[in-house]
């Protein structure tokens, strides 16, 4: 099966729910009920989960595959990468890495996180490995816009 492609907003909703503590099967179950109330506590009700409920209603197998097996973002923005790093790995801009005009520099990622980011972000971004950190399973990387 090919990789499911989701909009950046759909992925942000999904990752915010995960960061809130919901596990994949719980998210799927809550979406199947059609009741958005369980998501109202995610970041104090900051997000409207209607797009995920609509996708769940219209194409439940695709959404469930994305949740269980992974997805690729159709088009990732600069702030989308910052959001993913923060919600999924608790890595914060300006604290854990440097923000440049068109790049995120010196992002320290565990190897599994680096592999996930490579599979997930859209091809308009390039991940440049700066340094494999000795005695760890981490790599220092730079996210930069790919040349068009």
State what percent of residues in the chain have pLDDT above 90: 93
What gap in Å lies between CA 117 and CA 13, rounded to an integer? 17
pLDDT tens-digit series, residues 74-92: 999 999 999 999 999 999 9
Contact 46, 82 (CB under 8 A): no
Q: What is the largest CA-CA distance in the chain?
A: 48
pLDDT band for position 134 (50/70/90)?
confident
| Helix, strand, or coil (residue 6) | strand
pTM: 0.92
**Is the pLDDT confidence value at 148 over 60?**
no
Nearest to 5 by CA among 98, 74, 77, 79: 74
For the segment 94-103, the average pLDDT, to the nearest whole number, is: 94
pLDDT tens-digit series, residues 43-57: 999 999 999 999 999
Please state the φ and ψ torsions of residue 39, each to the nearest 5 degrees.
Answer: -90, -5
Nearest to 146 by CA among 125, 120, 127, 129: 125
pLDDT band for position 2 (50/70/90)?
confident
Taking each continuous run of H as one helix and of E as one strand, the counts in the chain are 6, 6
pLDDT tens-digit series, residues 5-37: 999 999 999 999 999 999 999 999 999 999 999
The domain locations on the chain are: 4-73, 78-145
């Amino acid at each position: 099966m090919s990789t499911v492609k989701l909009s950046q907003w759909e992925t942000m909703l999904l990752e915010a729910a995960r960061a809130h503590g919901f596990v994949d099967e719980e998210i799927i179950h809550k979406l199947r009920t059609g009741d958005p109330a369980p998501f109202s506590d995610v970041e104090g009700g900051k997000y409207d989960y209607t797009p995920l409920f609509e996708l769940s209603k219209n194409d439940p197998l695709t959404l469930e595959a994305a949740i269980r097996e992974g997805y690729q973002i159709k088009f990732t923005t600069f702030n989308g990468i910052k959001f993913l790093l923060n919600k999924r790995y608790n890595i914060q801009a300006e604290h854990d890495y440097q923000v440049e005009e068109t790049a995120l520099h010196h992002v320290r990622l565990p190897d599994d996180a680096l592999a996930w980011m490579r599979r997930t972000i859209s091809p308009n971004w390039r991940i440049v490995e700066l340094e494999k950190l000795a005695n760890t399973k981490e790599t220092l990387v730079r996210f930069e816009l790919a040349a068009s």
